[in-house]
Amino acid sequence: MTNLPAYVLVTPARNEAEFLELTIQSVIAQTVLPLKWVIVSDGSTDGTDEIVNKYAADYPWIELIRMPERRERHFAGKVYAFNAGYDRVKDLGCEAVGCLDGDISFDQDYFAFLLGKMVEDPKLGLVGTRFRDPHNYTYDYRFVSIEHVTGCCQVFRRACYEDIGGYTPAKGGAIDRIVNISARMKGWKTRTFTEKFYLHHREMGTAEQGIVKVRFRDGAKDYAVGSHPLWEVFRSVYQMTQRPFVIGGMALLAGYMWQTVRGIERPVSRELVKFNRREQLQRMKLFFTGRTLKSNA
């Protein structure tokens, strides 16, 4: 096997007891193990800590960090938890760092596959794979570029992660989108490899939320990263053809428009908004001309 870069993993986990053991079992079965895996319990109250400690007793490269409980559930909390974990591993000499949710599972050579792709292309700064959820749903990559790496499992080349300054603690979400766009804006390649997939055992975005509310919040996230209005209409029309039919797409557009009308300040720079809109218009042009978007050089 080609020498692969050393890697570490950080998992922000808030009340993940239902599926966390599936994730742990997937990691300890990997053909290439991480130097360290820090699981950060973000105020969990459901037995998450006990599950981690059980495995940490047998696998010394697994470590639990406990964050204090907080009343408010928001996406910035995931960033704070990740940062706490990253602080424990950043001095280990790793070349790659993965952010891994606590409700997914994957095959035994999952990380070896992703690390191998980084070896093949030194410009790859952020990599991942497609996913399947409990309904066997996955993104339609005509509408979601393979350059977007979903937030449940993102593996960074460490130089890329540091170049973009890590995750942005945006309370309203879109933290995975921001790092994707930021990496490409800095000249790195980002890529989802569709040959493999991970199983996301909780339906995407449904923790403590209904699906229509999820779509509304997705629209708000699109606003947060500065999505072009034409792109949002295009995306909303497509979403109307997906479950829940019609109302899902309407909720998506409503979330975007509500943030627009309120004039909410975006958590990203004008430079990133401009870059994102340019990419979206290019993808629309290529879609309507029947061509495909090439990976950024």
pLDDT in tens, 252-261: 999 999 999 9
Summarize the confidence of residues 235-257 as an average pLDDT: 94
Q: CA distances (Å), 154 to each of 7, 148, 269, 296, in order?
A: 12, 10, 22, 18
Please give the share of the chain, as a percent, with pLDDT higher than 90: 80
Q: Predicted confidence band at 226 (pLDDT cuts at 50, 70, 90)?
A: very high
Mean residue pLDDT of the chain comes to 92
**Strand pairing partners for 100?**
153
Could you tell me which residue, 145 or 122, shows the higher pLDDT?
A: 122
Total number of residues shown for the chain: 297
Residues 218, 248: one domain?
yes
In terms of Cβ atoms closer than 10 Å to its own Cβ (0-12, 13-18, 19+), residue 107 is: middle
pLDDT for residue 134: 74
Residues 128, 266: one domain?
no
Q: Predicted confidence band at 243 (pLDDT cuts at 50, 70, 90)?
A: confident
For residue 296, pLDDT over 50 is answered with no
For every residue of 86-152, DSSP letters joined together read: HHHHTTS--SEEEEE-TTEE--TTHHHHHHHHHHH-TTEEEEEEEEE-TT-----TTTS-TTPPPTT
Encode burial over 116-133: b for 16+ CB neighbours within 10 A, e otherwise.
bebeeeeebbbbbbbbeb
Residues 45, 135: one domain?
yes
pLDDT for residue 295: 41
CB-based contact 64:36 (threshold 8 Å): no
Spell out the alpha helix ranges (H) of 144-210.
158-163, 175-185
Residue for token pair 């070349």: 95
Residues 72, 193: one domain?
yes
Summarize the confidence of residues 31-35 as an average pLDDT: 98
Residues 162, 215: one domain?
no
pLDDT for residue 68: 85
pLDDT for residue 220: 97
Residues 160, 14: one domain?
yes
Where does a domain end: 171, 200, 229? 200
Q: CA distances (Å), 161 to each of 18, 53, 102, 218, 283, in order?
A: 30, 28, 21, 24, 25
Q: Predicted confidence band at 164 (pLDDT cuts at 50, 70, 90)?
A: very high
Q: Tell me, what amino acid is at 290?
A: G
pLDDT for residue 269: 97
Residues 178, 45: one domain?
yes
Domain span at residue 273 reads: 211-288
Residues whose CB falls within 8 Å of the CB of residue 91, separated by 6 or more in sequence, listed in order: none
In the chain, what's the furthest Cα-to-Cα distance?
56
pLDDT for residue 30: 98
Enter the pTM of the model: 0.91
Residues 222, 97: one domain?
no
**Token duo for residue 203:** 């339906």
DSSP, collapsed to helix, strand or coil, labels residue 48 as helix
For residue 120, pLDDT over 90 is answered with yes
**Token duo for residue 125:** 């700064």
Residues 241, 263: one domain?
yes
- How many beta carbons lie within 10 A of that of residue 93, not counting itself? 10
How large is the C-alpha radius of gyration of the chain?
Answer: 19
Q: pLDDT of 65-89, one tens digit each?
A: 999 877 666 789 999 999 999 999 9
Summarize the confidence of residues 250-279 as an average pLDDT: 97
Helix or strand run (H / E) with residue 66: strand 62-67
Q: Predicted confidence band at 25 (pLDDT cuts at 50, 70, 90)?
A: very high
Considering the domain boundaries, does residue 295 fall inside one?
A: no
Residues 123, 184: one domain?
yes
